[in-house]
Copies of this chain bind each other. A is one copy, B any other.
């Protein structure tokens, strides 16, 4: 199997003007689990395709994902990403904007290297995904100033913001390997459900995770009064006034909100939602060829329920 990290390491960013390319190299060198390119390669192999054919698109997906993180960090004024200062902190906001723009273009440059007879469709799938991520980000912003967000609206937002990229990675891998449209659809839907489960799990870990393992500060969502799956579940159960910000320390707030969640069975509801999405993801695999790669996707979904970081 192609080593995705090694392939990303081969991309050369020691170009002029350094002010443009250095932040791109810095961003990509931060690591991460490279889930999206791995999924694209895995989907290709599941359908008996050639990894080399899908590699440019796989790398494009990873570069695009990291571009979205870079611009999101500017918009969120995030200080730290993967344990290191964010680009707009290490350099400045203008650098983060411009290098981010160039990163998106680099994604399209990688994409342009997929086999020519597969290019038009791959480009369309990629564009659709890119659009949906921006839409998801906008809904996320819109939700900040709304108190009437429903759980279905939230699920749609995280579908756009998180799931679609995973699903599209799988679908592009399947498409390039020559999977049928029905198969492409099934593996895409697996990715959608997996992403939803992942995001709800992420919301959970912010409350119930272990800081050292999770890799980011616990309680960040609560401190910001962010509308997570947990927040919305509690709100739906009538706790909306209690969830509002009060004059209290962050520790007090964290403990107070956790007590509300405990009282209302919010954790159990979130776990149930994760189980539901995980099962739906696994069910999508039934219609696909059964081999070690389908098994890997199944294992990935099961493992997600137990993930701690």
Encode A89-123 as 1/0 by CB contact (under 8 A) with B.
00000100110111011101101100010011001
Interchain CB contact under 8 A, A101 and B138: no
Q: Given the complex, which residues of B lie within 8 Å of A305, measured CB to CB?
A: none
Residue A19, interface by CB 8 Å: yes
Contact partner of A135 (CB less than 8 A), chosen from B17, B71, B138, is B17
Q: Is the C-beta of A236 less than 8 angstroms from some C-beta in chain B?
A: no
Minimum CB distance partner of A114 in chain B? B120
* B20 x A71 contact (CB < 8 A): no
Q: Are A101 and B135 within 8 A (Cβ)?
A: no
CB distance from A167 to the nearest CB of B (A): 17
Q: Of B17, B74, B101, B116, which is within 8 A of A142 by CB?
A: B17
- Contacts A101-B71, A119-B120: A141 and B108 contacting too (C-beta < 8 A)? no
In-complex Cβ contact of A94 among B75, B98, B108, B139 (8 A)? B75
Do B71 and A138 have beta carbons less than 8 Å apart?
A: no
- A185: shortest Cβ distance to chain B, in Å? 20
| Interface residues on chain A, size class | 35 or more
Contact indicator A131/B109 (Cβ below 8 Å): yes
Contact, CB under 8 Å: A138 / B17: yes
CB distance from A132 to the nearest CB of B (A): 10
> Is A130 interfacial (CB-CB < 8 Å)?
yes
Q: Would you call B138 and A98 a contact (CB within 8 A)?
A: yes
Instruction: List chain B residues, Cβ under 8 A from A111.
Output: 123
From 106 to 164 in chain A, residues with beta carbon under 8 angstroms from any chain B beta carbon are: 106, 108-109, 111-112, 116, 119-120, 123-124, 127, 130-131, 134-135, 137-139, 141-142
Complex Cα spacing A108 to B131, Å = 10
| Nearest B residue (CB) for A106 | B131
User: Apart from A71-B98, A102-B134, what are 17 other A-B pairs with CB-CB below 8 Å?
Assistant: A17-B139, A19-B138, A20-B134, A71-B101, A75-B97, A94-B141, A98-B134, A98-B137, A98-B141, A102-B131, A105-B127, A105-B130, A105-B131, A106-B131, A109-B131, A111-B123, A112-B123
Interface residues of A (CB under 8 A from B): 16-17, 19-20, 71, 74-75, 94, 97-98, 100-102, 104-106, 108-109, 111-112, 116, 119-120, 123-124, 127, 130-131, 134-135, 137-139, 141-142
By Cβ-Cβ distance, the 10 closest A-B pairs, closest first, are A20-B138, A17-B138, A102-B134, A75-B94, A105-B130, A109-B127, A112-B123, A116-B120, A19-B138, A112-B124
